[in-house]
């Protein structure tokens, strides 16, 4: 009697183990910084449930992947006991490794506990398996193993995803609560200073009533106090603006991370089968050419036969419409190859657009970034506008490629959305010795001077409710500023809009600081 393993279920158990490990590592870092005991124990319980369920599911799906030619079932009580062992040991292991001071002894204890828990869960789960030796085939208990594995996997993935999302949300809430406490302390401090200034003002008023000779000096002190108040007010406005910018950047960072993970995953899943399709199509083309040569040779041989012998071949030839098939075969194969190349180009664009390392500066080709972005937004633009490229010679620039691609995507989508029916989007590039310039123009509805002056403000949008967040151009402005550059807008109502992005070729270029300071002035 021989057993076999289901490749897909084995792969599924590996994916579950990877996701569980990632979730637990993320939770361990978060739990270790918690100070409130009740909150920490609650998160330890949730983390243990997620970790234990992930380990148990990985093991159970792996067991389901092993199939025998006889029915195989599992005792529900022992199976539940193996799950409880995994969760319980996960709780103690997390409690050990998330302490404020982590030593080698703690690490050793955590490793021993996890080893004992996994071993106990494994052998308890194996003990839960039972089968009928006299049976020939079939699934035990009438349950399909793949269906059961898929159901358990989906439930476990849901638990892990919810746990990860809740931990991220709680971490962000803790951060914002700390910022709010800081602002409250700052306001309390400023209020105390204002109260002191008010008491000083009252003393000054009393002194003015006693002597007129000190009037000019007291008035001057009042003016100075007011100047200090105005300065403090400006400082508070600046702090509030920085807080808003920080909030916007956090939102955008999470959005880019999600898009990057999704796009990279989709690109990987599409690229593998397309490699087989492309290779098979090229092989098919060579085979079709050989078949056409054989058909041509057969046609010449049939032509040498006498009319009676040739008649059946001619009738079959016409019925199959061989002339049309022969002429159309290579065209069909070539069109299929072109389509496969187009898909691979789109996939490459997705991978270039969403490549990781958003905080790593690198030397890239701006035109390649524009083309990758155009591939990504092609479906949004193709029905609205014709894209005209007027590329000038550009050197490779030092930048953050994913963030710069995000700027291009925001500007291209805004241009397409500004065109009511059918128009033209023009992309112009040029450079000088120190900077590069990218201008994106559209033939859309344009905007007034009042709207253009506020277009980069956070949460400002002219779109209907529900069709825009008002963050795209604000985030683009911040990204360009991070590149020590600037972004300008020129627009006329009814005649279209042009956004121009300029930034230095290199971060450490001698003129970069002068250029950035000149733009901010």
Q: Do the beta carbons of residue 164 and residue 23 sit within 8 Å? A: yes
Q: Is the pLDDT higher at 138 or at 242?
A: 242
* pLDDT (mean) for 459-467: 62
* Alpha-carbon torsion, ordered 457, 463, 465, 468, to 10 deg: -60
CATH of 377-520 given 3.30.70.990, 3.40.50.720, 3.30.565.10, 2.60.260.20:
3.30.565.10
Strands 423-431 and 385-391: what pairing?
A: parallel
Q: Do the beta carbons of residue 434 and residue 512 sit within 8 Å? A: yes
Report whether pLDDT(24) > 80.
Answer: no
Range picked from 230-239, 334-343, 350-359 for highest mean pLDDT: 230-239
Q: Do the beta carbons of residue 263 and residue 351 sit within 8 Å? A: yes
Q: Predicted confidence band at 292 (pLDDT cuts at 50, 70, 90)?
A: confident
Q: Is the pLDDT higher at 71 or at 60?
A: 60
**Residue indicated by tokens 């404020």:** 100
Strands (E), 172-312: none
Report whether pLDDT(279) > 50.
Answer: yes
Q: What pLDDT, on the 0 to 100 scale, is given for residue 447?
A: 87
Q: What pLDDT, on the 0 to 100 scale, is given for residue 138?
A: 38
Domain range annotation of the chain: 4-182, 377-520
Mean pLDDT estimate for the chain: 72
Q: ∠ CA 497-259-340 to the nearest 5 degrees? A: 90
Q: Is the pLDDT higher at 206 or at 405?
A: 405
Q: What pLDDT, on the 0 to 100 scale, is given for residue 90?
A: 72
Report whether pLDDT(502) > 90.
Answer: yes
Report the alpha-carbon distance of residue 442 to residue 432 in Å, rounded: 24
Q: What pLDDT, on the 0 to 100 scale, is given for residue 347?
A: 66
Report the alpha-carbon distance of residue 56 to residue 78 in Å, rounded: 12
Q: What pLDDT, on the 0 to 100 scale, is given for residue 520?
A: 46
Write down the pTM of the prediction: 0.40
**Lowest-confidence pick of 84-98, 339-353, 359-373, 408-422:** 339-353
Q: Do the beta carbons of residue 163 and residue 47 sit within 8 Å? A: yes
Q: What pLDDT, on the 0 to 100 scale, is given for residue 511?
A: 44
pLDDT digits (tens, 9 = 90+) for 218-270: 788 888 888 888 888 888 887 777 677 666 666 655 565 555 566 566 666 67
Report the alpha-carbon distance of residue 422 to residue 391 in Å, rounded: 23
Q: What are phi and psi of 132, to 5 degrees?
A: -100, 110
Report the alpha-carbon distance of residue 249 to residue 280 in Å, rounded: 46
* pLDDT (mean) for 131-148: 47
Q: What pLDDT, on the 0 to 100 scale, is given for residue 34?
A: 62
Q: Do the beta carbons of residue 135 and residue 71 sit within 8 Å? A: yes
Which residues, 6 or more positions from 245, have their beta carbon under 8 angstroms from its beta carbon? Answer: 458, 478
**Residue indicated by tokens 């996890």:** 114
Report the alpha-carbon distance of residue 428 to residue 391 in Å, rounded: 5
Q: Please count the other Cβ atoms lying within 10 Å of the Cβ belonging to residue 304.
A: 8
Q: Predicted confidence band at 471 (pLDDT cuts at 50, 70, 90)?
A: low
């Amino acid at each position: 009697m021989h057993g076999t393993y289901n490749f897909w279920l084995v792969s599924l158990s590996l994916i579950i183990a990877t996701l569980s490990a990632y979730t637990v590592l993320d939770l361990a870092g978060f739990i270790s910084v918690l100070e409130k005991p009740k909150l920490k124990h609650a998160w330890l319980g949730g983390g243990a449930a997620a970790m234990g369920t992930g380990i148990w599911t990985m093991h159970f799906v792996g067991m389901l992947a092993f199939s025998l030619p006889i029915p195989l079932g599992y005792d529900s009580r022992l199976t539940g006991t193996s799950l409880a062992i995994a969760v319980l040991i996960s709780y103690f292991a997390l409690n050990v490794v998330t302490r404020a001071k982590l030593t080698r002894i703690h690490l050793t204890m955590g490793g021993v506990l996890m080893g004992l828990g996994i071993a106990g869960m494994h052998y308890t789960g194996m003990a839960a398996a039972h089968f009928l030796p006299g049976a020939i085939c079939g699934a035990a208990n009438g349950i399909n193993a793949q269906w059961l594995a898929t159901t358990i996997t989906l439930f476990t993935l849901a638990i892990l995803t919810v746990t990860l999302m809740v931990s991220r949300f709680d971490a962000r809430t803790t951060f914002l609560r700390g910022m709010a406490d800081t602002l409250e302390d700052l306001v309390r401090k400023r209020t105390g200073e204002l109260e002191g200034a008010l008491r000083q003002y009252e003393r000054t008023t009393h002194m003015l009533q006693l002597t007129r000779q000190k009037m000019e000096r007291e008035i001057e002190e009042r003016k100075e106090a007011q100047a200090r108040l105005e300065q403090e007010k400006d400082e508070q406005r600046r702090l509030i603006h920085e807080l808003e910018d920080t909030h916007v950047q956090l939102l955008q960072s999470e959005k880019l991370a999600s898009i990057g993970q999704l796009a990279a995953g989709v690109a990987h899943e599409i690229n593998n089968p397309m490699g087989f399709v492309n290779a098979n199509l090229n092989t098919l083309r060579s085979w079709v050419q050989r078949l056409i040569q054989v058909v041509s040779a057969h046609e010449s041989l049939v032509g040498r036969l006498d009319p009676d012998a040739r008649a059946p071949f001619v009738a079959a030839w016409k019925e199959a419409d061989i002339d049309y098939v022969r002429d159309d075969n290579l065209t069909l194969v070539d069109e299929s190859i072109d389509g496969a190349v187009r898909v691979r180009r789109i996939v490459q664009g997705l991978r270039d657009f969403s490549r990781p390392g958003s905080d790593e500066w690198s030397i890239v080709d701006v035109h390649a970034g524009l083309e990758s972005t155009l591939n990504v937004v092609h479906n949004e633009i193709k029905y609205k506008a014709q894209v005209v490229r007027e590329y000038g010679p550009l050197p490779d620039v030092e930048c953050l490629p994913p963030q710069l691609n995000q700027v291009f995507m925001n500007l291209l989508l805004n241009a397409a959305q500004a065109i009511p029916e059918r128009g033209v989007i023009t992309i112009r590039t040029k450079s000088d010795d120190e900077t590069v310039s990218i201008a994106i123009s559209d033939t859309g509805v344009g905007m007034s001077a009042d709207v253009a002056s506020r277009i980069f403000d956070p949460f400002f949008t002219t779109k209907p409710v529900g069709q825009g967040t008002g963050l795209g151009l604000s985030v683009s402005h911040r990204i360009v500023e991070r590149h020590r550059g600037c972004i300008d807008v020129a627009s006329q109502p009814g005649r279209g809009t042009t956004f121009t992005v300029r930034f230095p070729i290199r971060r450490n270029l001698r003129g970069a600081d002068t250029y950035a300071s000149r733009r901010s002035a």
